[in-house]
């Protein structure tokens, strides 16, 4: 306690210098906290955008489907899997999908497209497809009056084939049994805009897709939503154990390219921040060294009366750590309201940013233990590191020489 008192009083000996040191470290804290908040918040938004747009948090496929998608690589026994998923408390919802490349025709011409068969009811619980319909309405399991099944088409296809709501769309593909699949569909709605990820997609009800592709009772993909993107890995490991014959992939694997570029972007940010913090702490090192130099005589006396060299080093480290703790406290108090505003209100971007097809229009931060706690560890950790050299210097002062100094 006395050593703590001694350290605490020592940092108030040079009030102005200590204040400047505290302010620079608190600045470092605020910078780190805001940067972490912005990065985490932005990426959280992006992850939510694409996981809730279509991907889901977890996907189940037949082995190798993600790497080499083929119409024949499909999942059977979907009824029992679906029932098992419905029973699990860690799964919020799931949906079933069928994929196939098709050639789409209208009176005007043709264009290649991606056919996606969706479970009409379940899809609404997992993705934002319904919200992305710009004209027309969502799919219905019931057939159109004309006895043809309905379809949602991407804006790109609508423009290329000059299709409007109620228009006839002819699809040609290859069935899973090797037959030629062709049928007419009625446009029920148009999805997204010509730049969105869905621009070349055609969505039809799952049963219609299974019938069209001759793959009744089978699907290519089961997309799952859990309570948060962070728990995807954990749940997917447990699901993989339950479904050893299939491949269960969290969103980090499904969207591997995005995940890796996000990780490398975060690393880049961290390196940039570390450089800034390093520069701040060079100033702190200078302050601590000055303080040691000024108190050379005092350290000599402390050693003369029986303080071990390690105790002197401990005192210097304690003083620097105290300064860092005070700085972190100040930084914390200033950062919390700023980050809270940024998290709960955020900034509306004048022009939405297109990030890989996802439109990013509202920028928010994140208020979490990681965002507020990591800068504390950085500031205290760095202060500990920069106090090692002055601590050793103070500990190695020879008492006789120190007491000759003034």
What residues make contact with other proteins under the rule CB under 8 A? 1-3, 5-6, 9-10, 13, 297-298, 301-311, 398-400, 403
> Angle, to 10 degrees, between the axis of helix 15-50 and the axis of helix 369-395?
150
Least distance (Å) from other proteins to the CB of residue 292? Answer: 15
Cβ closest to other proteins, residue 5 vs residue 351: 5
Minimum distance of other proteins from residue 306's CB (angstroms): 3
Give 76 or 311: the residue with its C-beta nearer to other proteins: 311
Answer left, alpha or beta for residue 184, where phi above 0 means left and psi between -120 and 50 means alpha.
beta
Question: Smallest distance from the beta carbon of 402 to other proteins, in angstroms?
Answer: 10
Three-state DSSP state, 248:
strand
Residue 6 or 275 having the CB closest to other proteins: 6
Residue 61: closest CA among 51, 79, 52, 73: 73
Pairing relation of β-strands 110-118 and 201-205? parallel
Shortest Cβ 384–other proteins spacing (Å): 22
CA dist 258 and 248 (Å) reads 18
Measured between alpha carbons, how far is 323 from 287 in angstroms, rounded to an integer?
11
> Considering beta carbons, is residue 124 or 307 the nearer one to other proteins?
307
Residue 85 CB contacts under 8 Å (≥ 6 apart), including other chains: 91, 94, 222, 224
Least Å from the CB of residue 317 to other proteins: 17
Question: Which of 17, 266 has the CB closer to other proteins?
Answer: 17
In the block, residue with structure tokens 């890796």:
260
Of 18 and 106, CB closest to other proteins = 18
* Shortest Å, Cβ 401 to other proteins: 9
Nearest to 359 by CA among 195, 200, 225: 195
């Amino acid at each position: 306690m006395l050593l703590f008192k001694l350290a605490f009083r020592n940092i108030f000996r040079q009030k102005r210098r200590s204040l400047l040191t505290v302010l620079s470290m608190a600045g470092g804290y605020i910078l780190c906290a805001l940067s972490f908040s912005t990065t985490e918040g932005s990426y959280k938004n992006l992850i939510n955008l694409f996981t809730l747009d279509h991907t889901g948090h977890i996907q189940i496929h037949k082995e190798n489907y993600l790497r080499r998608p083929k119409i024949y690589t499909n999942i059977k026994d979907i009824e029992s899997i679906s029932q098992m998923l419905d029973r699990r408390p860690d799964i919020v919802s799931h949906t079933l999908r069928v994929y196939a490349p098709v050639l789409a025709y209208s009176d005007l011409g043709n264009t290649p497209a991606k056919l996606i068969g969706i479970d009409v009811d379940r899809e609404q619980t997992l993705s934002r497809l319904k919200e992305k319909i710009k004209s027309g309405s969502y799919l219905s399991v019931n057939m159109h009056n004309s006895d043809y099944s309905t379809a949602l088409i991407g804006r790109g296809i609508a423009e290329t084939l000059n299709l409007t709501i109620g228009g006839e769309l002819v699809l040609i593909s290859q069935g899973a049994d090797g037959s030629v699949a062709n049928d007419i569909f009625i446009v029920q709605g148009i999805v997204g805009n010509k730049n969105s990820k869905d621009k070349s997609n055609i969505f039809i009800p799952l049963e219609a897709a299974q019938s069209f592709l001759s793959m009744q009772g089978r699907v290519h993909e089961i997309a799952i939503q859990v309570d948060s993107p962070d728990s995807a890995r954990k749940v997917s490991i447990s699901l993989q154990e339950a479904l050893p014959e299939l491949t269960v992939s969290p969103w980090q694997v499904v969207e591997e390219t995005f995940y890796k570029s996000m990780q490398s972007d975060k690393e880049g940010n961290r390196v940039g921040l570390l450089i800034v913090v390093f520069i701040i702490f060079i100033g702190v090192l200078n302050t601590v060294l000055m303080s040691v130099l000024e108190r050379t005589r005092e350290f000599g006396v402390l050693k003369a009366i029986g303080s071990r060299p390690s105790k002197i080093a401990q005192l210097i480290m304690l003083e620097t750590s105290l300064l860092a703790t005070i700085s972190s406290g100040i930084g914390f108090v200033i950062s919390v309201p700023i980050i809270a505003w940024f998290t709960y209100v955020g900034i509306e971007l004048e022009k939405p940013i297109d990030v890989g097809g996802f439109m990013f229009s509202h920028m928010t931060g994140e208020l979490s233990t990681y965002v507020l706690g990591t800068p504390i560890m950085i500031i205290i950790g760095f202060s500990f590191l920069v106090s090692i050299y002055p601590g050793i210097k103070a500990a190695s002062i020879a008492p006789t020489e120190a007491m000759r100094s003034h």
